[in-house]
A and B are shown apart, each in its own frame.
Chain A
Amino acid sequence: MELKIDRVTKQYGSKIAVDRISLTLGRGVHGLLGENGAGKTTFMRMICGILAPTGGSISFDGMEAATEGYRSVLGYLPQDFGYYPDFTGKDFLLYMAALKGLPKRRAGEKAKELIEMTALKEAAGNKIKTYSGGMRQRLGIAQALLNDPDILVLDEPTAGLDPKERVRFREVIQEYGKKHIVLLSTHIVSDIEHVAGNILMMKRGQLIYRGPWGEEKGDLEQFYLKQFEGGEE
């Protein structure tokens, strides 16, 4: 199981949002850190095949990004999680399951399991527009996990979650990362320092750090803040 990213670049006019990033990701949780505007979301959207890279390539076990095979092993929670306000939570998950190609029976079972896992059982029959921000975020996490994806891409997944939900979420992700590739993007260091076995740090579209972070290296947050001294881009 290998997600291969080879000299991936994204350029908007003269602005380079992602600059020749190359890396290979295997099983485990990979924490992507970077300030707002560092290029994290652009990078993740390219991994999900939503955005076409200006240069370079992305593949998973030989399957090019954006192909049907690649998309069938992908789970994605975008930063701005979109939903249909008049769908119920359950309907939304069943629709997403059909989009992901799950057989009907499996879709029903999986939706039920994830509704319970994300503590949405009571609200599953209510319209999403009545959900709180945290509930919507949990629904977003549930839809990303529907197809048991080999590659799980989570962009700012803890936004809107309360402290208890954040802890619960970290546990789920840690467990999930044992068998799959999880790429988790955030600008909150505490979200990933306990769960990510591999840290990726982005600044101005470039990868400025990659590798595990052990206690011998000191405090990750201090290191992170030091990298971004001088303010935002």
Chain B
Amino acid sequence: MNHFGILVKYEWKKLLQKKLVRIAILVVILLQVFMNLSFLMQYYTSYRSDEDGNVIQTGGRSGYEKLMDDKEDAKALEGRKVDDAMLEEMRQFYAEYSPRDKYAEIHSMVRAMSGEESREFTGEELYGVWKDNIKTSFKSQLLSEKEIAYWEKKMENIETPFTYHYAMAWETILNNQCVGTGMLLVMLLAVCLSGIFAEESRLKTSNLILCAKNGKNPVYLAKAVVGMLFGFLGAFVLYVISFAFQFYFLGTEGFHAILQQDIVYSPYPITIGQAVLIMFGITVFIGVLESMFAMVLSLGLNNNLAAMSVVVGLMMLTSFIYIPKRFRILSWLWHFIPTGILGTGEFYDGRLFQFLGISITNLGFAPILYFVLSLVLFWVGRRKYVKVQKS
């Protein structure tokens, strides 16, 4: 192992030997497990009205029982086309009371596509309304003609009528886990990495490091590598936990189901599995960016509590602020604030980044932006660490 390898090894050791870091890792893992098992703590009661209009409780199910029922019902619809025949079948089912909502998956999709609770659509009408609603969504986003044309061309690749595929695990991760995982990751990085430089001052070891031969560039690089790897591994482990629990309870099927069966107004011609992988990839880039951000703050503020507060505070503050789309550039830039971009709303967003005549979607631009910002932060930190002696 060369010097750099040894320095990286000891930087890992320094990081993982801290009690605070170990506790933070444990707490974040437990929270992620809890987020994935929260359905076990729910209880569902079903009611119906009798002929006199009295409300009668017809049954109760634990969260686990309901999940297994939903899974069974959804699996029974596997491979069915959402066409006239299916719509008619569904209408007949809902005409009578049933304690099990066997068409729940398709019913919620049709309701979202039409934007109405109940209406007797033919298949053709349903897909017509769906396309109109997407066009309305484009207008409300103030998309340019060029952007609308781009998405209309992309949407030609979405085959109608939709074919339903069972994909509950992938849907649950996409709808319920991505934002939470992103926030847990940012908190983990804020707690664990905000001391990576500041601790050297607190322990007074910076005196020894700064006057050693490899104490400048190599040490900075070793710390940055460890921090970024920690961010990457954090994202990876949190997603592995989600995958493990969701696949265990709901199965792995459905990677190839079209995204529109879950996010109906999305113009992206991709599958649900691809959408989850895109979110995972963006989370990895967020992990690397937030790691660099926490480390540069640690270096600049020379105080781990201050650096941690800035990272967590910014994450919370930015999640409360919404900039309307009419402020096009500002709202576009703002929505790249890490963790905000992990919401399912991102798959509706049709705004494009134009570069040298190439149109790049937000989900394609985000990793590039985060990578460039990580490099900038790396350079800023290096400049500060290597050049400046204490004055």
Binding site for B on A (CB under 8 A): 45, 48-52, 66, 68, 71-72, 74, 76, 78, 80-87, 91, 94-96, 98-101, 104, 143, 147
Q: Which residues in A have their C-beta under 8 angstroms from that of B200?
A: 82
Q: Which residues in A have their C-beta under 8 angstroms from that of B211?
A: 48-50, 71, 74, 76
Chain A residue with the shortest CB-CB distance to B205: A82
Residues of B185-238 contacting chain A, CB below 8 A: 200, 203-216, 219
Chain A CB within 8 A of B10 CB: yes
Indicate if the CB atoms of A66 and B203 lie closer than 8 Å: no
Which of the listed residues B14, B200, B206, B208 has the most CB atoms from chain A within 10 Å of its own CB?
B208
Indicate if the CB atoms of B214 and A84 lie closer than 8 Å: no
Smallest CB separation, B217 vs chain A (Å)? 9
A-B contacts besides A80-B204, A95-B6, 15 pairs, CB < 8 Å: A50-B207, A50-B211, A52-B391, A71-B212, A76-B207, A82-B200, A82-B203, A84-B203, A85-B203, A87-B14, A87-B17, A94-B6, A99-B208, A99-B212, A104-B1
Smallest CB separation, A44 vs chain B (Å)? 10
Smallest CB separation, B142 vs chain A (Å)? 53
- Give which listed residue, B204, B206, B212, B391, contacts A96 with CB less than 8 A: B212
Smallest CB separation, A149 vs chain B (Å)? 10
CA distance A49 to B18 in the complex (A): 29
Q: Which residues in A have their C-beta under 8 angstroms from that of B389?
A: 49-52, 66
Smallest CB separation, A127 vs chain B (Å)? 9
Query: Can you list 15 A-B contacts with CB-CB less than 8 angstroms, sorted by A residue number?
Result: A45-B390, A49-B211, A52-B391, A71-B213, A76-B211, A80-B207, A82-B204, A86-B18, A87-B17, A95-B10, A98-B3, A99-B7, A99-B208, A99-B212, A99-B213
Indicate if the CB atoms of A50 and B210 lie closer than 8 Å: yes
Q: Which residues in A have their C-beta under 8 angstroms from that of B146?
A: none
Indicate if the CB atoms of A49 and B210 lie closer than 8 Å: yes
Indicate if the CB atoms of B204 and A99 lie closer than 8 Å: no
CA distance A98 to B8 in the complex (A): 10
Chain A residue with the shortest CB-CB distance to B14: A84
Q: Which residues in A have their C-beta under 8 angstroms from that of B10?
A: 91, 95, 98
CA distance A45 to B18 in the complex (A): 29
**What is the size category of the interface that chain B forms with chain A?**
20 to 34
Query: Assuming A49-B389, A82-B205, A95-B10, is B210 touching A100 (CB within 8 A)?
Result: no
Smallest CB separation, A182 vs chain B (Å)? 16
Residues of B357-391 contacting chain A, CB below 8 A: 389-391
Q: Which residues in B have their C-beta under 8 angstroms from that of A50?
A: 207, 210-211, 389-390
Indicate if the CB atoms of B390 and A51 lie closer than 8 Å: yes
CA distance A84 to B214 in the complex (A): 18
Query: Assuming A52-B390, A94-B6, is B212 touching A100 (CB within 8 A)?
Result: yes
Which of the listed residues A66, A82, A99 has the most CB atoms from chain B within 10 Å of its own CB?
A99
Chain A residue with the shortest CB-CB distance to B222: A98
Indicate if the CB atoms of A100 and B390 lie closer than 8 Å: no
* A-B interface, 8 closest residue pairs, ranked by CB to CB distance from nearest: A82-B204, A82-B205, A99-B212, A98-B6, A52-B389, A72-B213, A86-B17, A101-B213
Query: Assuming A50-B389, A84-B14, is B207 touching A99 (CB within 8 A)?
Result: no
Please encode chain B, from 315 to 351, with 1 for each CB lying within 8 Å of some chain A CB and 0 for all others: 0000000000000000000000000000000000000
Indicate if the CB atoms of A71 and B205 lie closer than 8 Å: no
Indicate if the CB atoms of A98 and B207 lie closer than 8 Å: no
CA distance A160 to B214 in the complex (A): 29
Indicate if the CB atoms of B208 and A143 lie closer than 8 Å: yes
Smallest CB separation, B16 vs chain A (Å)? 10
Indicate if the CB atoms of A99 and B214 lie closer than 8 Å: yes
Chain A residue with the shortest CB-CB distance to B219: A99
Q: Which residues in A have their C-beta under 8 angstroms from that of B6?
A: 94-95, 98, 104
Q: Which residues in A have their C-beta under 8 angstroms from that of B208?
A: 76, 78, 82, 96, 99, 143
Smallest CB separation, B386 vs chain A (Å)? 11
Chain A residue with the shortest CB-CB distance to B200: A82
Smallest CB separation, B202 vs chain A (Å)? 9
- Give which listed residue, A83, A86, A101, contacts B205 with CB less than 8 A: A83
Chain B residue with the shortest CB-CB distance to A46: B389
Chain A residue with the shortest CB-CB distance to B202: A82
CA distance A52 to B210 in the complex (A): 12
Which of the listed residues B7, B203, B204, B207 has the most CB atoms from chain A within 10 Å of its own CB?
B207
